[in-house]
Structure formats: C-alpha cells, structure tokens
Amino acid sequence: MTVDKTIDERFEALCEKIPIVDTHNDFPYSLRVQFHNELHCPGSKFDFDSLLTSHTDLIRMKQGKIGIQFFSCFIECKEDDYLYEDFNKPNSAVRDTLEQIDVIKRLVDEYSNQFEFVTNSKDALDSFLTTKGEKISITLGVEGLHQCDLSLAVVRQYFDLGVRYITITHNCDNPFATAASSIAAGKPDKGLTKYGASCIEEMNRLGMIVDLSHVSHKTMLDVLEITKAPVIFSHSSVYSLTNHERNVRDDVLQLVKKNGGVVCINFFPLFLKQQSKESVTIDDAVDHVKYIIDLIGWDHVGFGSDFDGIPQGPVGLEDVSKYPDLVKKVWEITGASEENIAKMMGLNVLRVWKECEEISKQIKAKNTLPVEVNWEDRKWEFYEYCREFPEIYPGSYNLKKNIYKNTQSLDNNKK
C-alpha cells in the first residue's frame, strides 16, 4: 500500500532541487539609509547572520528556502526635481547607484560562506544545487532608468558590474518612459518614448532583463510590442483584484503570456487588498498568484516580495522566512503538480533570465553594434577652450551641436 506524501513532505523534497527566487528585496537601501553603507560603522550592532528587526537576514532567508535573491539597487526620485521634468539637470543618481552595487557586493564578500554573487542563470542555479542550498545566489536589479541619468552607456556599465534587470521607471517619468505614479497624479500617459525604444533594443542586445514594474499602462503595452525578449514585473500584483496603477491589468497579462514573461507578486498590503493593512493576509497574496495562474497559466507567475521596501507584509507573510507557507498554501488550494509548483517557486524567472541570455547571443552573433543614440534633447556643454584642440578630421567640430562657455581657460594663471 502506497501512502501519499503530505504537502509538507513534498515541499521539502522539492526544495532540495528547486530554488525559491525572489526578484525584489530592498534590504540594501536600509543599509544606505541607516548605516550610510558602512557595514562596520562605529556603534553599529549589525550582523546579517543574526535575527534582525528588518524583514531580511540570513537566518530567515535560510528558513524561507530562498535560493536566488535579486537585491534591488534602489535610489529614489528626488522630490526637489518633481518627476524629473528637467532631465538635463545634474543629479547624483549614478553615484548613489554605484554605492548600492558596491555595498551589496561587500555584503556578499562578508558572508561568502552563505552567499555567492552570480551574473548568469546557469551559475545561479548551479550554486544552489552544488551547495545543496547552503549558498544563496545573489544578483542585482536597478529600480529605474532615472538611475542611468540619460545615458545608455550607463546601462552598459551597470550590466558589466553585474546588474541583470533594470526597471524602466520608478515613481517618476524619465527620458525613456512614463511612470505609473504620473498617471495616478493625473498626468497624460505618453508611454515609451523613442529614446526608450532604443533603450529596450540595447537591453535586449546586452541580455539585460526588462522590468515593467512601476511603469504606466501604455508603457507596458509599448514595451511588450517591441521587445525581442521576455520581460518581468519584478514586484507587481493584479489590477483586477486591486485597482492600483502599480498592478497589472488583464490585457497586459495576456500580452505577458504571449511574450513569455513573468509577473512576480508584490507582498505590499496596499497592492494586494485596498482595505486596512491589518486585514491583509497571506490568503490575499495567494489570490493574486492564483488569478494569474487561472488567467494565463503557471508559466507566468513568481515572487517579488518588496521586503524592506515596504513598511510591513501581510499577516502570515511578515518576512523572508514565510515563503514556504505561501508555496504550500498555493499547492493545497490548486492541487498542482511538482512541475508547476517548481515553475512558480523559481524556474519561471530562471527561464526568462536564460532566454534573455540566449536572445542576446543571437543578436550579437549578427555583429549587431551597441546602440549609440543619445537623448535628442540632451544639452552638450563644453568650455570654449576645447575648440583649440585639434579636429579629429577637417570639419569634425561641426558634426554635432554643442554649447560653449567662456568661464574657464587653459591658462590656470589667467584671470
């Protein structure tokens, strides 16, 4: 007589070969705000391998069976330049993003017995499997193209530093696209710009995953029309269940299915149920997961908690240790196969990541050059003295339009 295994037993067996993937955790931003990125600052009691009062620490990541974690390199849109309407205004976003990348890498080095920094889908899975889950694979996402400060060159450099997805907007418009927050504020939905389309092209060439969380409805539609690679929503939920602009409408979900992308459910109570946050529970998160499964299938759902970027999680999903409870609840309600549960746990995101890598290889195999276009309204300002330097070839100074200023001289002693 064969005795059926319980959900608990089946889950434990599955976790030996399938990692739980979380596509969005903001813990590094807490390091920025509270420690100024100093892991050993004077007076600090920080030890990531201890129980902290944040949503995230190593002990609870292990309890939560997390195998692959995308840490967010998040820098906010600045309120003193509302919605970045003057895109030529200098800002510190690139510097601050580099500091976030740096602190994540230092955190990984500090806890190298438990973390492995990875930059491709194969290494992410292999590290989990070869260490039998003892090491958590860490990779990076950048939360908004405002953090690239007008430049596709910055996108390329982020990729070289290990960033593997970029969110097209955060809570501000940028030269690439319209943000959901702008629509909520009553501004027109202009969608993806011409320059934004060039950025999608370059991200596809690089193998950088396109993240559509935070963008407007039209931006979602525009990107899904032109991208050559599958996309993710790194931390969004379902609009039909909670009509918030940060969530994903049914027409977009259908396009995500066609695209092969994945919507990773956000645990922020406001995105799960528009009632008092105390009344939102793990069951509401299950509802959002199940809605996507029922509408477009098991291939297109994942987890993007937003832990430590939200005040609190739902009851029953309070921190990173609670993923097993969420997986088992979905399993109990759906009666799904191990294959489908494995997709939801992490294989869907790994598939998208791998497909982006493969599409990048195909594009580069055609000797496709990097996208060199610049934002058409960018102002290029130089000092007048640079025109004393030799031309690259006769007339080359006339190729581009520049603004020249007379405020400096090559002669430092000249007043």
Burial label, 277 (beta-carbon count in 10 A; 0-12, 13-18, 19+): middle
Please name which of 292, 187, 317, 203 lies closest in space to residue 245, comparing C-alpha atoms: 187
The one catalytic residue in 99, 173, 245, 306 is: 306
- Residue environment code for 381-415, b if the CB has 16+ CB neighbours within 10 A, otherwise e: eeeeeeeeeeeeeeeeeeeeeeeeeeeeeeeeeee
Tokens 């953090």 -> residue: 147
What are the residues facing 232 on neighbouring strands?
211, 262
Q: Residues 58, 48: contact at Cβ < 8 Å?
A: yes
Antiparallel, parallel or unpaired: β 209-211 and 163-167: parallel
3-state class (DSSP) for residue 389: coil
Tokens found for residue 34: 């509270």
**Which residue reads 């292999």 in tokens?**
126
- CA distances in angstroms from 146 to 24, 94, 141, 352, listed in the order given: 18, 9, 13, 24
- Check if 217 is active-site: no
Which of 22, 57, 99, 143 is catalytic? The answer is 143
Element (H, E) at 251: helix 250-259
**Which amino acid, one-letter code, is at 34?**
Q
Rounded to whole angstroms, how far apart are CA atoms 409 and 84? Answer: 32
As to burial, measured by CB atoms within 10 angstroms (0-12 exposed, 13-18 middle, 19+ buried), residue 186 is exposed
Query: Catalytic annotation on 36?
Result: no
Q: Could you confirm whether 9 is annotated as catalytic?
A: no
Instruction: Respond yes or no: is residue 146 known to be catalytic.
Output: no
Set 22, 57, 99, 170: catalytic member: 170
User: How would DSSP label each residue in 217-256?
Assistant: HHHHHHHHHH-SS--EETT--BTTTS--TTSB-HHHHHHH
CA-to-CA distance for 363 and 358, rounded, in angstroms? 9
Q: Retrieve residue 414's tokens.
A: 């000249």
Considering the candidates 146, 217, 235, 244, report the single residue annotated as catalytic. 235
User: For residues 70 and 119, what is the distance between their CA atoms, to the nearest angstrom?
Assistant: 11
Quick check: is 214 catalytic?
yes
CB 204, CB 360: distance < 8 Å = yes
Distance CA 361, CA 351 (A): 15
Residue of 22, 26, 99, 173 marked catalytic: 26
Catalytic residue among 57, 116, 201, 214: 214
Strand-pairing partners, residue 20, are 66
Known catalytic residues are: 24, 26, 143, 170, 214, 235, 306
